[in-house]
Structure 1
Amino acid sequence: MEKRATKRNVALVEKCVMSSIGIQCLFNAMPDCRFRLHIFSSENALQKALSKTSFSAVIFSLSAIRKDRRQGLAYLTALEENFPRLRRVVIADDDAEAHLIASLSPSPFDGVVSKSSPLTLLLEGLFSALNGNRRGRENASNLWYHNQSRTLSPTEREILRFMTHGYSMPEIAVQLERNVKTIRAHKFNVMSKLGVNSDAGLLNAADILLLARESGSGQQSAA
């Protein structure tokens, strides 16, 4: 009698009950699914399980609330440091956020999908990330820094860094010893380069870049 292949454990961190049920249904509907989904409502719940269960991947659903989203991104960074062999798949709140995370994060996520995607595309993205080849951490990080050096100037990155800590344009101008009109011009250049059209979108990008700076280079952020 042929022995069944052992299913791989996959953790899902999703605070919304309805969303977690929907993703569970996607897994259940997948023919010959090789994964066993474990659902957690918080990072703390997953952290406790990591000491007892061997997971091949974590699917992390980011919150639309900025404070919770930043906490989630920080936790994903910590997972990379503590569990380097663990696949990390991000479910972003919408297409725009998914694009920013995929474009700006130096952390080699194995997949970034959007909650607003049709179910077929969401399913395809999740299983592609779970089954595909791992991205090399060093190569992905080097590629990110190479791309960022061509995309954002040092001044533009500094402006984003201050923005994520709540500095206003006049306050950033004082910190960088520049004219406020110059700072605003840099801000709009960044928005154009990153393809965002609002301060909220810009703050999303700033958060991603800040976490990248802290985890990638160990430098301290502006207080």
Structure 2
Amino acid sequence: MSTTTTHTTHTARTARTTARTRLVCAVAATPLWTVVALTQAATREGFDITRHPLSALSNGSLGWLQIANFLAVGTLLVIGSTGLREALHGTPGGTWVPRLVGAAGIGMVLAGVFVMDPADGFPAGTPYGPPSALTWHSYAHFAAGSVTFAALIAACYVLARRFGRLHDRRYAALALAGGTALLLGNGWAMAGGVAGTLTLAVGVMTAMLAVSLIADRLRRGL
């Protein structure tokens, strides 16, 4: 084997290892988000997941936990998107999936930077009902959240199309379920549906889970 061939093989092996490591970040994003958010939802005084969005956890004396959750998970998704770019390069979805997952990650980071206003009895002592007026950082938080939701939905649908074209029905169905769960969950919440914050939380976690499981499949295939 020539020196050039050996160098090329080593370079390719290093690139695959780096891509696998980055894909682990995308895999880890969902369990981290879910454990940190739901643990707080179950233990913090005054929080009711059927009335309060998980973003509200960024308020109060322990709000830094959810802010850190946003920042960490968003960063993991951004790094994971670079692994997706390597794993999907030259294949269906190879252009848009990494871009959309990266955009979702950036949206989550910004949602952590810009905290929504206290509302509807949380944190404890906050008057019930919506704030009388929203602050600029609350508007910025909602905009960042909208970017994250739209990007995750689109990423899931692009992945569903990819796996559909590859005749992989299981992962096509997984991606389709993730995108649809978030689309419907967010739509229900925006329409003021009963327990809309719960349907939104379930939708976000389902979409993120689809991305994480698909990232793990791609990691194992490298």
The answer to whether the superposition gives a TM-score over 0.5 is no
Q: Which has the higher contact order (CA 8 A, sep 6+)?
A: 2
Q: Which has the higher helix share?
A: 2
TM range (shorter): under 0.3
TM-score of the pair, normalised by structure 1: 0.27
TM-score of the pair, normalised by structure 2: 0.27
